[in-house]
Amino acid sequence: MKKVIIILAILFVCFGNAQESFEDAAFAKANEAYTSENYDLAIAGYEQILKTGKHSAEVYFNLGNAYYKINAVGPAIYNYEKALQLDPENIDVENNLKFANQMKIDAIEDTQVEGLVSSNLDAFVASLSVDEWAYFSIVLVLFTILMAVFYFYAQTAGKKRLFFILTFLGLIISILSITAAFYAKNSLNKEQFAIVYTEEFTTREEPKEKAVASFILHEGTKVEVLEEFNEWALVLIANGSKAWMPLEKIKKL
């Protein structure tokens, strides 16, 4: 039985290494195609990597660049947005996304008014990803426990006072950090954004083709999906307007 377990473990490790080697080779090949300006081949290579389940900011970023080179506005913006989800502080992705957004037809002004407190809170929480908030919370909890231990073993009143204050501050900040992590996770789960993937579509006031026309959206526009019904999505755009369009016309982030 032990031999079987060892053999299975070895096979598992070998398979993992082979899979990683394959992905690295595929990524290098796609990069080579991109450098040679064979963008269609590069796109096929990056897409194949994503199909294996490896979702990295680097792959999405390079895929967005390849789509940008062939003027595919929707896919370029979509992949830049996916890269930012995985690496929110990547300046290169942010800059390329700005260039890609300049290619789209729709120039929708953000006129939605939010409360100052809510806006500042969202901006603060968005400064770190959910994982980063979780790691930060763990560090703070460990720091708080350590300070509590120091307080317990402190020999003088001055040291006890210092470690008590640090323990109290660590506890408060830990609670705030954990709350921010849950807030970020809930916001991420609650909000569902998508990119328009069709060249042009006239949205409808109801979820059916023969409904009254609303406004026109073009490829690359980012929308928020508020509701789904019978393969239709109720979308919200930056100026606060809402309308229905088929799910097949958008791609969720």
What burial class does residue 224 get, using C-beta atoms within 10 Å of its C-beta: 0-12 exposed, 13-18 middle, 19+ buried?
middle
Q: How does strand 242-246 pair with strand 213-218?
A: unpaired
Across the range 5-15, mean pLDDT stands at: 45
* pLDDT category of residue 121 using cuts at 50, 70 and 90: low
Across the range 48-69, mean pLDDT stands at: 93
Answer whether 157's CB lies under 8 Å from 215's CB: no
pLDDT of res. 110 = 65
Residue 9 has pLDDT above 50, yes or no: no
pLDDT of res. 92 = 95
**Which long-range contacts does 200-207 make (Cβ < 8 Å, 24+ apart)?**
200/105, 201/245, 201/246, 201/249, 203/235, 203/243, 203/244, 203/245, 204/243, 204/244, 204/245, 205/243, 205/244, 206/244, 207/232, 207/234, 207/244
Q: Find the helix or strand (DSSP H, E) in which 167 lies.
A: helix 157-190
Answer whether 205's CB lies under 8 Å from 241's CB: no
**Which long-range contacts does 78-84 make (Cβ < 8 Å, 24+ apart)?**
78/195, 78/197, 78/251, 78/253, 81/193, 81/195, 81/222, 81/253, 82/55, 82/253, 83/57, 83/58, 84/57
Per-chain mean pLDDT for the chain: 85
Asked which of 52-56, 126-130, 193-197 is least confident by mean pLDDT, the reply is 126-130
Taking only the tens place, the pLDDT of each residue in 156-191 is: 988 999 999 999 999 999 998 888 887 777 766 667
* pLDDT category of residue 20 using cuts at 50, 70 and 90: low
Taking only the tens place, the pLDDT of each residue in 200-244 is: 999 999 999 999 999 999 999 999 999 999 999 999 998 889 999
Across the range 114-128, mean pLDDT stands at: 60
Sheet holding 200-204, edge to edge: 213-218, 200-204, 242-246, 232-236, 222-229, 193-196, 250-252
pLDDT of res. 192 = 87
pLDDT of res. 77 = 97
C-alpha angle with apex 188: 61 to 202, nearest 5 degrees?
75
* pLDDT category of residue 133 using cuts at 50, 70 and 90: confident
* Amino acid identity for residue 242 in this structure: K
Tell me how long the chain is.
253
